[in-house]
Amino acid sequence: MPQGKPAGVRCIQLDSANRCQLYGKAERPAVCVQLKPSEEMCGSSAEQAYHYLIALEQLTVPSVQSEAFFQAPIKIFRIAQQGRLPG
């Protein structure tokens, strides 16, 4: 993505099976190459990984306001309670 991937936006490099189409290629962004997966990050399912990524993105948004900072975990908890991913 030429301007970088905005928070909350699905990367255009993901295929229909959620696999990076740039994996192993020189054009894969350096930040992606440097990010090492961990059990904490990946969880045991794609849904758990998705929720973790949402939390990371919301907690690292540069313009995050203090109220949004504290509302993010509550929003994530409610999404998890509903047992489904946001549309």
Q: Which residues bind ligand SF4 (CB under 6 A)?
A: 5, 11, 13-14, 20, 22, 28-29, 32
Rounded Cα gap, residues 43 and 37, in angstroms: 10
Cβ 40 to ligand SF4 shortest distance, Å: 17
Torsion of CA 7, 70, 45, 84, to 10 degrees: -90
Q: What are 53-56's contacts with CB under 8 Å, separation 24+?
A: 54/8, 54/79
**Of residues 19 and 69, the one with the C-beta less far from ligand SF4:** 19
**Of residues 10 and 84, the one with the C-beta less far from ligand SF4:** 10
**Of residues 13 and 48, the one with the C-beta less far from ligand SF4:** 13
